[in-house]
Structure formats: structure tokens, C-alpha cells
Amino acid sequence: MTPTEALLRVDRLVKHFPITRGILIQRQIGAVHAVDDISFDVYKGETLGLVGESGCGKTTTGRTILQLYKPTSGSVYFEGRDLSKLSAEEMRKTRQRIQMIFQDPYASLNPRMTVGEIIAEPMLIHNTYNGKDRQERVAYLLKMVGLNSAFSNRYPHEFSGGQRQRIGVARALALDPSLIVCDEPISALDVSIQAQVVNLLEDLQRDLGLTYLFIAHDLSMVRHISNRVAVMYLGIIVELADRVDLYEDPLHPYTQALLSAVPIPDPVAEEKRRRTILEGDVPSPVNPPSGCRFRTRCPIAQPICAEIKPEFREVKPNHWAACHFA
């Protein structure tokens, strides 16, 4: 597959954070393997869900794609261009087309700026929409995300969490991006507000032709909003498939365990269903297990799992898994 066939193509992406020791002279004594050789595509107009436990590397993946973290190795192709090879000025221009909605609506908005200034800041930095046009654009964006345009003179502390996240969405839309990385945009919100924000994202995708990389750990919500789903575990992708295929026929033991924990709104089916209880804790990303990363908690692990790293292969059409026994 060539990089131009997908809007976003992540190719063997690696991000390690060095662990250093010493005060005057620091030396590296290890590394946190946050993201370890992952590859996937995101096609124009689709939503790819990226799920996994806390600490598995989902957010680091999103930030490395945006070059907020420089990748240790690997490539990120956006609209056919390798972002890791761009100069600072070229990357600044490219960021008009690729934006991010951050997880915490309380920490991601500057408390000293009004809502209007927050939404207008990207236009100011990239020198788009001047003077009155910029004010009209801010009012238009506020209405688009379901807020009163008169709110532009208020400060973030005057809004609820759900309203703040809508402001974050409006800021992400300010420069007409084609791809938005949604980094757990609903995890800090009440359940009733989560549905409203997800519906807003779906409406915006339909109206503006947006493409989403939707990072979350709520499997039910990911099934609702995503076209395809990638499952991460300890810095690697263990399964990738169409959402219906993945939820109805999960091939990797980790995916099976995750889905067995999702409640079913049917008492009879819930009672008959067998839960997969994972033993032990997630290993440290500083010293991940040899072979298969999941083998220390896998209910079907065999000696080969400790010796040979399973290939991320297409087990059946458009359904990929990294397991010797998938």
C-alpha cells in the first residue's frame, strides 16, 4: 500500500522515552517503550477507534502522530507527506489540516483567555480570517458546536465540563482541518454529557467530511462511533478489524478478555456469558516481556509465545491479529 492511498498512514512508529541517571552528567540507563513498532492506516471520512487499557500508549501514539513528540523511529504519512521529515515551518503549516481534541477540558483551555480568544488563537497564529471575519468565524464555530455566540466574552471557569469540551472542539475546527485526533474527549465527562459530545462529533463529521482517530477505553462508545477498531496493549497493536467483525468475532485473547467485561443489557445473556479474567498486572513498559507482550497474562499462552514475537498478520480478510493461535 502506498502512503497516498490513505489520509493518514502510520508505518512502524516507535516512541521510547529515555530514562536517565545523574545530576551534572546524565546517562541513559533504560527507556520506556511507550509505542513499539505499530502500523495502521486511517482513510478519508472514516473513524478509526484506538482502544486499550490506561498506559498502553494510546495518547502517546496520538501525540507522536501530531509530532508533539518526535518519533524515535518510523514514519507518519499525512496526505502523502512524511511528517517526521518536515521542517518546523512546514509542520506548522501542515497543522492547519490536522488538529487534536484533548482529554481534559479543564486543563486544555487557558483560564486567562476568553472563549473567543481561545477559538481565535489558531487563526491568529496561522494568519487566517482577519479582523471582523475572525469574530464572525468565532461566532459561527460556537453555534456549530451548540453554544451561544454571546459566550465569546466569557472565561473557561464559567462553563461546565461538557461546554468546555465543546469549546475545545470549536478550537480544533477553527482552521478547517481534514483529520482530528480525539484523545479520549469524553472520558472526563458525565455519562449523559458523553453521548451529547459523541453525537456532536458524528454530526460534524457528516457535515464537514472530517476524519477521526478516536482514542478511548470505553468499548461501547468506540463501537458506536468507529468504522474500524485497533486494540493496543503495552505499546503494540494486537488486533485491527472492522468494528462489527471485531466485536462479533474477536481473534486475539486480549480483545476477547476486554469484550467479555463489557456489560450486555440482557440479564439472560449476561448470566450465560463466560467472563475472561486476566491474571496479574500489566508488565512495565520499561522491560516488556520477550516474545508476545501479552503472554504473561494470556490464558492460552504456550512456550513458543515467550520465544517468538507473533507476526501482526491478516488472519482473515481485513482482520489483523498478532497471535500465534489466532
**Could you tell me the CATH number of the domain that includes residue 48?**
3.40.50.300
* Confidence band for 3, pLDDT divided at 50, 70 and 90: very low
Domain assignment present for 183: yes
Residue 153: is it exposed, middle or buried by C-beta count within 10 angstroms (0-12/13-18/19+)? exposed
Contact in structure between 280 and 296 (CB atoms under 8 Å): yes
Q: For the chain, how big is the Rg over CA atoms in Å? A: 21
Rounded mean pLDDT of 256-279?
A: 77
Strand partners, 314: 320
Is the predicted pLDDT of residue 326 greater than 60, yes or no?
A: yes
Give helix 132-144 / helix 115-125 axis angle, nearest 10°: 120
Across the beta sheet with 228-233, the strand order is 98-101, 179-183, 211-216, 47-51, 228-233, 236-242, 319-321, 313-316
Domain assignment present for 148: no
Of the ranges 141-155, 250-264, 274-288, the best mean pLDDT one: 141-155
What is the pLDDT at residue 131? 84
Domain assignment present for 29: no
* Confidence band for 270, pLDDT divided at 50, 70 and 90: low
Name the domain count of the chain: 1
Domain assignment present for 187: yes
Domain assignment present for 51: yes
Domain assignment present for 132: no
Lowest mean pLDDT among 111-120, 154-163, 254-263: 254-263
pLDDT in tens, 45-73: 999 999 998 889 999 999 999 999 999 99
Percent of the chain with pLDDT over 90: 73
Q: What DSSP designation does 230 have?
A: E
Domain assignment present for 293: no
Quote the domain boundaries for residue 190.
44-74+81-97+177-288
Domain assignment present for 189: yes
